[in-house]
Chain A
């Protein structure tokens, strides 16, 4: 356990020192303020977007409208950027052999790296959620929020629902991160580790917009990311969220298991 913790600390330092990771975090911090700033400076509202009509009425609509966009393409991208080269960068720099001959075993290296990638992915999601909520509340105000069932939610309840909504997309985002890790291990390519999860996310999104089999859509991570909408209905319904969590757990388990087995069996004798 202490070996895993050591690897985790080292990997966190490595991730936080990367300019790419820092740039992503700054973008996530700034983007919501630009978004609501542009909305407030125009007459029209994005009525075709869920919660778009309330963007000038309640600050709590801002994080929810941004969550609609984020769950479509931003969250898979965040996951890929945070986790896509955690393993493959060692291959490219030829440092894997050095690491594995130190006093840490492969299992500790694997779980330390996975924990660091997941931690940074969660940190990125929390950053954009907190920034969007602050941007909305500060620029628009903390007036009550109208949910999709037509009920008025007071500020204290609305804040809790916003936090819960963002929390529900974390398992599916980690599902994309685990796909990125698996691809990163299997291909030993940072480019593929970042691009493949994004392409998979886009394909899932494309399927979601097709009027095709609904049963298949329910099995996609993209659909799971929309389960939060049920929390903000009157009456609320938990079924999409419960099923979504199961789906995300299946993705996480399968892709992490494949990555773990591939990493354990890897021959690093050649460097």
Chain B
């Protein structure tokens, strides 16, 4: 009887743990990458001494390259950000996002010209990597959209 109860508790605990929402979900990734990109774009303009305006992101789609079925978890993500810049020009950029198990990531534009673009920072007078071409980010693993592609 005791063994049966212990086995049931073990099975229940295992099933409970396995059924929990993963930390890095597609929804959280899409939300955070888009929001951080908008902030970094504005920061890029600010650092170049240009009027600060934010791009209008029309859609963001991210997929996990190493967990294709569930579209969740750490690893390499491919994101597509569609946005309209302050001049009204439409953009459709691909991003490579390297996500760690702790919920933080490094995002790089797939276009090397954008990724390695240097700008002159008017504050420090140094040449820095354009924040609109690569940036770091972190997701809150306890809130935000929990959706994955498949469950």
* Chain A residues within 8 Å of B, Cβ to Cβ: 47-48, 50-51, 53, 56-57, 141, 143-144, 146, 148-152, 208-211, 213-218, 223, 226, 229-230, 232-234, 237, 239-240, 243
Given contacts A51-B136, A210-B101, contact A151 B39 (CB under 8 A): yes
Q: How far is the CA of A47 from the CA of B38 in the complex (A)?
A: 20
Note all chain B residues with C-beta closer than 8 A to A218. Answer: 141
B134 within 8 A of A: yes
Are B103 and A229 interface neighbours, CB within 8 A? Answer: yes
The residue that A53 contacts in the complex, of B73, B129, B143, with Cβ under 8 A, is B129
Chain B CB count within 10 A is highest, among A48, A143, A211, A232, for A211
Q: How far is the CA of A20 from the CA of B83 in the complex (A)?
A: 57
B147 within 8 A of A: no
Are A152 and B121 interface neighbours, CB within 8 A? Answer: no
Q: How far is the CA of A210 from the CA of B141 in the complex (A)?
A: 16
Note all chain A residues with C-beta closer than 8 A to B140. Answer: 230, 233, 237, 239-240
Note all chain A residues with C-beta closer than 8 A to B103. Answer: 226, 229
Q: Mark B64-79, 1 if CB is under 8 A from A, else 0.
A: 0011000001110000
Chain A nearest CB, measured from B129 CB (Å) = 6
B36 within 8 A of A: yes
* Chain B residues within 8 Å of A, Cβ to Cβ: 16-18, 20-23, 35-40, 42-43, 46, 66-67, 73-75, 98, 100-104, 106, 121, 123-124, 126, 128-129, 131, 134-138, 140-143
Note all chain A residues with C-beta closer than 8 A to B135. Answer: 53, 150
The chain B residue with its CB closest to the CB of A57 is B128
Q: How far is the CA of A53 from the CA of B18 in the complex (A)?
A: 36
Q: How far is the CA of A213 from the CA of B17 in the complex (A)?
A: 6
Are B104 and A50 interface neighbours, CB within 8 A? Answer: yes
Are A47 and B106 interface neighbours, CB within 8 A? Answer: yes
Note all chain B residues with C-beta closer than 8 A to A217. Answer: 23, 101
Closest 6 CB pairs of A and B: A150-B39, A239-B142, A150-B40, A237-B140, A226-B102, A214-B23
Chain B nearest CB, measured from A150 CB (Å) = 3
Q: How far is the CA of A237 from the CA of B137 in the complex (A)?
A: 13
Chain A nearest CB, measured from B30 CB (Å) = 16
The residue that A57 contacts in the complex, of B18, B23, B67, B124, with Cβ under 8 A, is B124
Note all chain A residues with C-beta closer than 8 A to B124. Answer: 57, 141, 143
Are A56 and B18 interface neighbours, CB within 8 A? Answer: no
A-B residue pairs in contact (CB < 8 Å), sample of 18: A50-B106, A50-B138, A51-B136, A53-B135, A57-B124, A149-B39, A150-B36, A150-B43, A151-B39, A209-B100, A209-B101, A213-B20, A214-B23, A217-B101, A226-B102, A229-B102, A232-B138, A234-B39
Given contacts A57-B121, A141-B124, A148-B36, contact A215 B143 (CB under 8 A): no
Are A237 and B143 interface neighbours, CB within 8 A? Answer: yes
Are A211 and B75 interface neighbours, CB within 8 A? Answer: yes
Chain A CB count within 10 A is highest, among B35, B42, B66, B101, for B101
Q: How far is the CA of A211 from the CA of B106 in the complex (A)?
A: 18
Note all chain A residues with C-beta closer than 8 A to B143. Answer: 237, 239
Q: How far is the CA of A245 from the CA of B126 in the complex (A)?
A: 39
Note all chain B residues with C-beta closer than 8 A to A148. Answer: 36, 104, 136-138
Q: How far is the CA of A56 from the CA of B128 in the complex (A)?
A: 9
Are A150 and B121 interface neighbours, CB within 8 A? Answer: no
Note all chain B residues with C-beta closer than 8 A to A141. Answer: 124
Q: How far is the CA of A132 from the CA of B106 in the complex (A)?
A: 23
Chain B CB count within 10 A is highest, among A48, A51, A53, A232, for A53
